[in-house]
Amino acid sequence: MSSTEPNNVKEISDTTFQTYPLEKIMKDIESDTEKRLEEAKKKVHAQPVGEVLVSIMQKGADEFKEKTGRNMTYSEMRQMYG
């Protein structure tokens, strides 16, 4: 991380992965999760709520791992999902 970046922006880089600002990844996943949750609310009787929520969160965790090359921390999960 260079000294010109704000302290709250962390970047993930690896030879296998592109460099992504961590905050952007988390914000994008959070936004996608909110959209999926709104869609799930419309179909509330199609599948048990617990299964829907776990599925939505798992998709976000999978996307995070795909983009960063690591699992999200508990703190990152709480930041995104509350």
Q: What is the pLDDT of residue 44?
A: 67
Of 20, 25, 5, which is closest to residue 72 (Cα–Cα)? 25
- Write down the domain spans for the chain: 11-81
Q: What is the pLDDT of residue 20?
A: 64
Give 66-77 pLDDT, tens digit per residue.
Answer: 999 999 999 998
The rounded Cα 51 to chain-centroid distance in angstroms is 18
Bridge partners of 21, per DSSP, are 11
Q: What is the pLDDT of residue 3?
A: 45
Of 10, 2, 1, which is closest to residue 79 (Cα–Cα)? 10
Q: What is the pTM of this model?
A: 0.62
- Report the SS3 class of residue 20: strand
Residues 6+ apart with CB under 8 A from 19: 11, 12, 13
Give 8-56 pLDDT, tens digit per residue.
Answer: 445 555 444 555 688 888 999 999 988 888 888 777 666 777 888 888 8
